[in-house]
């Protein structure tokens, strides 16, 4: 729940207004349009996604490689006419915004075709359109916002910042965990290899020392008379 502290005793109508406006701010922060997805991208593979958009609409694509290889991926975006409007190679993360000029199906693809053995885990966030105002007729108002409305707008902006921070730290945690697991696997394999090498060297030393103290018996051939 979200609480707004105000001096004095608030009448019932004011409390209802506070709860209504702050609930609208909370729902606006949590209900922004868009798609978030984490996908597995095998080696030498490509994954594409398609979205039909109207003309004059803004969309934003944010992506980041969470695990795999050197944490890089190829990405490109095409408009309905097949024109490439964005293309980057071997990027760990990036953000791309664009205002559509034509109506139709836009395509954005992630490619791991340059890698022959590394699987990738890729996160992307695809947002379409501008965020709607949290207050009715907020964009068409000619008067200044009241103190209560300004407080709700501030809460809304802070909630958006919290959501962005949580997403950022969640991705960093996933990436760091993947690196830690990869490092732990390498250390485990190296330890097993060292153990085998020490075991073989120990056996070789024992056999070598044993050969030093083994008495050689003379040949049993008699001398002729």
Q: Do residues 119 and 180 share a domain? A: no
Per-residue pLDDT at 219: 60
Closest CA to 112 of 45, 49, 67: 45
CATH code, 115: 2.60.120.380
Residue 109 resides in a domain: yes
Q: Do residues 118 and 151 share a domain? A: no
Q: Do residues 109 and 158 share a domain? A: no
Q: Do residues 127 and 174 share a domain? A: no
Average pLDDT over every residue of 54-74: 89
Length of the chain: 225
Q: How confident is the model at residue 196 (pLDDT cuts 50, 70, 90)?
A: very high
Per-residue pLDDT at 172: 80
Q: Do residues 83 and 174 share a domain? A: no
Closest CA to 63 of 100, 36, 44: 36
3-state secondary structure of 23: helix
Closest CA to 15 of 25, 6, 24: 6
Count of domains forming the chain: 2
pLDDT at 13 over 50: no
* Pairing relationship of beta strands 84-91 and 120-128 according to DSSP bridges: unpaired
Q: Do residues 127 and 189 share a domain? A: no
Domain that holds residue 62: 32-131
CA angle centred on 198, ends 196 and 202, rounded to 5°: 120
Q: Which of 24-28, 33-37, 39-43, 100-104 has the lowest mean pLDDT?
A: 24-28
Q: Do residues 37 and 126 share a domain? A: yes
- The token duo for 61 is 């694509």
φ, ψ dihedrals at 192, nearest 5°: -65, -40
Average pLDDT over every residue of 97-111: 92
The more confident residue out of 142 and 6 is 142
Q: Do residues 40 and 91 share a domain? A: yes
Q: How confident is the model at residue 170 (pLDDT cuts 50, 70, 90)?
A: confident
Instruction: Yes or no: say if 128 and 51 are a contact pair by the CB < 8 Å rule.
Output: yes
């Amino acid at each position: 729940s979200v609480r707004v502290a105000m001096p004095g005793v608030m009448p019932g109508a004011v409390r209802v207004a506070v709860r209504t406006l702050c609930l609208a701010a909370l729902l606006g922060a949590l209900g922004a349009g868009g798609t978030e997805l984490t996908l597995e991208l095998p080696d030498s593979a490509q994954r594409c996604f398609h979205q039909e958009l109207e003309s004059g609409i803004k969309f934003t694509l944010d992506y980041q490689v969470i695990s795999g290889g050197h944490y890089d991926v190829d990405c490109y975006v095409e408009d309905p006419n097949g024109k490439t409007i964005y293309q980057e190679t071997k990027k760990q993360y990036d953000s791309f915004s664009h205002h559509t000029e034509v109506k139709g199906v836009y395509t954005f693809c992630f490619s791991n075709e340059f890698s022959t053995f590394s699987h990738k885990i890729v996160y992307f966030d695809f947002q379409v359109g501008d965020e709607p105002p949290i207050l009715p007729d907020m964009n068409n108002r000619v008067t200044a916002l009241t103190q209560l409305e300004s407080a709700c707008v501030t809460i809304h902006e802070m909630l958006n910042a919290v959501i962005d921070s949580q997403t950022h730290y969640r991705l960093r945690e996933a990436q760091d965990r993947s690196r830690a697991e990869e490092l732990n696997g390498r250390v485990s394999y190296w330890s097993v290899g060292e153990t085998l090498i020490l075991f073989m060297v120990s056996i070789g030393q024992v056999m070598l020392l044993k050969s030093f103290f083994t008495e050689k018996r003379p040949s049993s051939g008699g001398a002729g008379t």
